[in-house]
Amino acid sequence: MNIELTIDDILRGQGADPVKIGLRKPALLRMAESALELGNDQIDPRTVTKGFSREELINHHAVPRELMEKNLSLLAEMLPEAESYVLAICTIGSDLENLSSKFMSTDMALAMALDGMANAAIDRLVECVFRDLTDKAESEGLGVSLPVSPGSHTWPLEVGQPFIFAALDPDPQMVRLTDHFLMLPRKSASFVLGVGPQVKRHGKTCDYCSKVDDCRFRIRKTF
């Protein structure tokens, strides 16, 4: 999957408004241009997705029973119309993140622009995967919910992340989970979609996040 980004995407990935930056801080605009040139070949998008009926998840041999029951209960509350679920893990790899770290001590502005590019890249990858899964479901006459990710006040990381990773069992060379339930490479994302004939998309993905009221990155959300 090819991830194509623009300078505006990179600025949004830094939590900035491209229009205001272009008018007030042209130096940041130039840094975004440099990041785009340097980082374009440092993105390695990889994904793992799989659909499960509720019964298939209940009988999944790799997920501990207590963890399964807790997650299915939470998903039923968040996605009450879903008859099945698609679990997904996405990553852009570590190369762009490492490039940003390389410049951190010598050119902070460029490092931050590269980090913004990495944010934009993982957002775009999730968006592409979401659209592909939505198109497939809708071709079968099914509706798809918004992506729901662990890390909210209703679905904590320590509950959702081990559930998704146990169910999908991704190659640890691609992405792995730390003891603190964070993903490595850091520019990775996991989420669940609810699927079913009665499922409709409501609100925004930000609505599920505990930082919804004060997150400066809300500007970069696309669905």
Q: What is the tens place of the pLDDT at every residue in 141-196?
A: 999 999 999 998 889 999 999 999 999 999 999 999 999 999 999 999 999 999 99
> What DSSP line would sit under the chain, residue for residue?
------HHHHHHHTT--HHHHHHH-HHHHHHHHHHHHHHGGG---EEEEEEEEHHHHHT-TTS-HHHHHHHHHHHHHHSTT-SEEEEEEEE--SHHHHHHHHHTTT-HHHHHHHHHHHHHHHHHHHHHHHHHHHHHHHHTT-EE---B-S-SSSS-HHHHHHHHHHHH---TTT-EE-TTS-EESSSEEEEEEEEETT----S-GGGG-TTTTT-TTGGG---
Q: What is the pTM of this model?
A: 0.89
Domain boundaries, the chain: 43-93+120-220
Q: What is the tens place of the pLDDT at every residue in 30-44?
A: 999 999 999 999 999
